[in-house]
Amino acid sequence: MGNPRKVCAYPYIIWIIGFTVIPLGIIVKYALTDSTGVFSLYNILAIAQPVHLKALIFSTEVAVICTLICILLSYPLVMSLKRLGYMGKRFSIFVLILPMWINFVLRLLAWQMILSNNGLLNALLELLHLPTIAIANTKTAMMIGLVYDYLPYMILPIYNCIDEIDDDLIDAARDLGANGFTVFLKIIFPLTIPGLLSGIVMVFVPSMTSFVTANVLGGGKYQLIGNVIEQEFMTTMDWNLGSGLSLILMIFTLISMVFTSGNEEPGKESAIW
Q: Which of 69, 137, 145 is nearest to 107 (CA)?
A: 145
Q: How far apart, in whole angstroms, are the C-alpha atoms of residue 217 and residue 141?
A: 6
In the bound complex, what is the minimum distance in angstroms from residue 98's beta carbon to another protein?
7
In the bound complex, what is the minimum distance in angstroms from residue 194's beta carbon to another protein?
13
Coil, helix or strand at residue 12: helix
In the bound complex, what is the minimum distance in angstroms from residue 191's beta carbon to another protein?
18
Q: How far apart, in whole angstroms, are the C-alpha atoms of residue 34 and residue 160?
A: 47
Closer CB to another protein, 40 or 116, in the complex: 116
Q: How far apart, in whole angstroms, are the C-alpha atoms of residue 211 and residue 227?
A: 5
In the bound complex, what is the minimum distance in angstroms from residue 55's beta carbon to another protein?
6
Closer CB to another protein, 192 or 207, in the complex: 207
Instruction: Give the phi and the psi of residue 39 in degrees, each rounded to 5.
Output: -55, 135
Element (H, E) at 182: helix 180-183
User: How long, in residues, is the chain?
Assistant: 273
In the bound complex, what is the minimum distance in angstroms from residue 130's beta carbon to another protein?
18
E strands within the chain?
none
Could you say which DSSP state residue 61 is in? H
DSSP 156-209: HHHHHHHHHS-HHHHHHHHHTT--HHHHIIIIIHHHHHHHHHHHHHHHHHHHHH
Could you say which DSSP state residue 119 is in? S
In the bound complex, what is the minimum distance in angstroms from residue 211's beta carbon to another protein?
7
Closer CB to another protein, 192 or 238, in the complex: 238
Closer CB to another protein, 38 or 106, in the complex: 106
Closer CB to another protein, 184 or 239, in the complex: 239
Inter-CA distances, 101 with 35, 88, 157, 203, Å: 42, 21, 19, 19
